Structure 1
Amino acid sequence: MSAEAGTGAGRHIALPEIDSTNAEGFRRAPALDGPTWIVAGLQTAGRGRRARPWVSPRGNFHGTLVLKPSGPPEQVALRSFAAALALRDALVQLTGLPASFALKWPNDVLCNGGKLAGILLESQGLGGPDPVLCIGIGVNLIAAPDPALVEPGAVPPVSLLQETGLRITPEGFLVALAPAYARWEARFTAGGFAPLRAEWLAHAARLGEVIRARTGAETREGRFESIDASGNLILRTPQATLAIPAAEVFF
């Protein structure tokens, strides 16, 4: 069973349970004619970056925005920054606590320094006649994974309820998130990445500080200087200034 409604920023399909909202997004994409949010009460096979399991208990937000964007893959991928900015906007709107939320490169949202939300972009057919982009978003609204299960050095997970005392339903969160994303999508379409980059940097966690970036078996330590016009992490090490397109970042 599913329910369909409007969010004010695209269609909204609500499902009681699904394997993965991203997987469902790809299954439904051929029949969709506009931006569509797919939200599930429970995910049985949710996943994060590098195919890691994403714990998806009821009461947390598990959703995917399905888009059919034109443009080259590297440009389409910059929508991860639009999603991060929309998440922060929605959280600030709902809590009134702007100082609590920061953005961690490449695709996490922090609350009081802990990992509150993650973003997973997956795509098919970009640059072709039938492109599909699924922007998967998970937010720990009421529960977070056990910190003991997180690898050493990683940012510990937190929940919005734990950090702020506020209990927000997934449906209430989508009411704020969907129009927030629509605003950033419009800015990206009209003005390119520059306005998103500037706003993202204004809320970046640990900007100007020493961090570690792990790519495969190699870990580099340096000062987090910026992100460039392609969304790459700019890391200044004692040997060189590097532009890193993908990495795991540790504080």
Structure 2
Amino acid sequence: MSTDAGWRGATDGGADRIVLDETDSTMAEARRRAPELRAPAWIMARRQTAGHGRRGRAWVSPEGNFAATVVLPAAGVPAQAALRSFTASLALHEALLACGATTEALGLKWPNDVLLNGGKVAGILLESLPRGGVAIGVGVNLATAPGADDVEPGAVRPVALAEETGARVSPADFLAVLAPAFAEWESRFVTYGFSPVRDAWLARAARLGEPVTARLPTEAVTGTFETVDAAGQLVLRTAAGRRSIAAADVYF
């Protein structure tokens, strides 16, 4: 359940903005509120009591870090909705640049992480909504990063914007930068399709042209990260030939 901060407004990106003092998770809040939303809306919480990431993993989010979900009531067919992880990644890249990170320090990790100085500073989670549309959860370590015990073995180390750059940015100020950046990338995606989004993402991709390992439920595939295809799949060049992977956890 949630505790409202007592106000609701619009972001510079044109989307509605709902700010909560506390909720279990902004993704859960998005599912509860989705039936009443007719236009894109950002739901941000100052505190989460049960945040989660991909595959149900816990997402540790101390106060001062950013936790929000943007709801897109009309996101097209599921395959198109899934590509919003790329638009969200690009928007996060722009927002972090605006908040003190450098181009050289940032990288985008397939399928849904943002790296800062080689560590994970942000993650993205997509969920389809019961009546159509998609909810895109965004977590950013603005103030502090989780400890090593809070992530699984072999995962990219967590880092925080403040610890890596010295920049102190509040969640509200970060939303003010992120929302219009996301709105711009969403507009490009809707107008021009995935191709320009894909090109922009690849230009910022981490470990492109280098060996990576993709862990699937039944196997691990190691190969050279060659590209991302027109469907958003990871393409690896392996000893057995090219392999396209729709969903996996990638390890360096």
Query: If the length of structure 2 is used for normalisation, what is the TM-score?
Result: 0.95
Q: CA deviation at 1:180?
A: 0.1
Letter in structure 1 aligned against 2:40:
P
- Check whether the contact 1:69–1:133 (CA below 8 A) recurs between aligned residues: yes
Which residue in the other structure is 1:62 paired with?
67
- Check whether the contact 1:141–1:159 (CA below 8 A) recurs between aligned residues: yes
Which residue in the other structure is 2:235 paired with?
234
- 63-72 or 236-245: bigger deviation: 63-72
Which residue in the other structure is 1:6 paired with?
10
Q: CA deviation at 1:147?
A: 1.8
Q: CA deviation at 1:149?
A: 3.4
Q: CA deviation at 1:26?
A: 1.2
Which residue in the other structure is 2:201 paired with?
200
Question: Quick one: which of 83, 89, 93 aligns to 1:84?
Answer: 89
CA–CA distance in 1 between the matches of 2:111 and 2:156?
13
- Check whether the contact 1:77–1:121 (CA below 8 A) recurs between aligned residues: yes
Secondary structure at the counterpart of residue 98 of structure 1: coil
Root mean square deviation, CA, Å: 1.1
Which residue in the other structure is 1:133 paired with?
134
Is residue 178 from structure 1 mapped to residue 179 from structure 2 by the alignment? yes
Letter in structure 2 aligned against 1:187:
R
Which residue in the other structure is 2:192 paired with?
191
- Check whether the contact 1:118–1:139 (CA below 8 A) recurs between aligned residues: yes
In the alignment, structure 1 segments of 5+ residues that lack a partner are: none
| 1:202-217 aligned within 5 A | 202-217=203-218
Which residue in the other structure is 2:108 paired with?
103
Is residue 42 from structure 1 mapped to residue 47 from structure 2 by the alignment? yes
**Which consecutive segments of 4 or more residues in structure 1 shift more than 6 A?**
none
Secondary structure at the counterpart of residue 99 of structure 1: coil
Is residue 147 from structure 1 mapped to residue 148 from structure 2 by the alignment? yes
- Check whether the contact 2:75–2:134 (CA below 8 A) recurs between aligned residues: no
CA spacing shift, 1:86–1:70, aligned 2, 3 Å:
closer
- Check whether the contact 2:76–2:133 (CA below 8 A) recurs between aligned residues: no
Letter in structure 2 aligned against 1:238:
A
Name the count of aligned residue pairs.
247
- Check whether the contact 2:86–2:201 (CA below 8 A) recurs between aligned residues: yes
- Check whether the contact 1:26–1:132 (CA below 8 A) recurs between aligned residues: no
Question: Quick one: which of 71, 75, 97 aligns to 2:80?
Answer: 75
Q: Cα deviations across residues 74-105 of structure 1 (Å, max 9, x unaligned)?
A: 11110110000000011111215221111000
Letter in structure 2 aligned against 1:189:
V
Which residue in the other structure is 2:123 paired with?
118
Letter in structure 2 aligned against 1:160:
L
CA–CA distance in 1 between the matches of 2:76 and 2:95?
27
Letter in structure 2 aligned against 1:202:
A
Secondary structure at the counterpart of residue 104 of structure 2: helix
Letter in structure 2 aligned against 1:51:
G
Letter in structure 2 aligned against 1:171:
A
Secondary structure at the counterpart of residue 182 of structure 1: helix
- Check whether the contact 2:107–2:114 (CA below 8 A) recurs between aligned residues: yes
- 64-73 or 174-183: bigger deviation: 64-73
Q: CA deviation at 1:44?
A: 0.5
Q: CA deviation at 1:124?
A: 2.1
Secondary structure at the counterpart of residue 190 of structure 2: helix
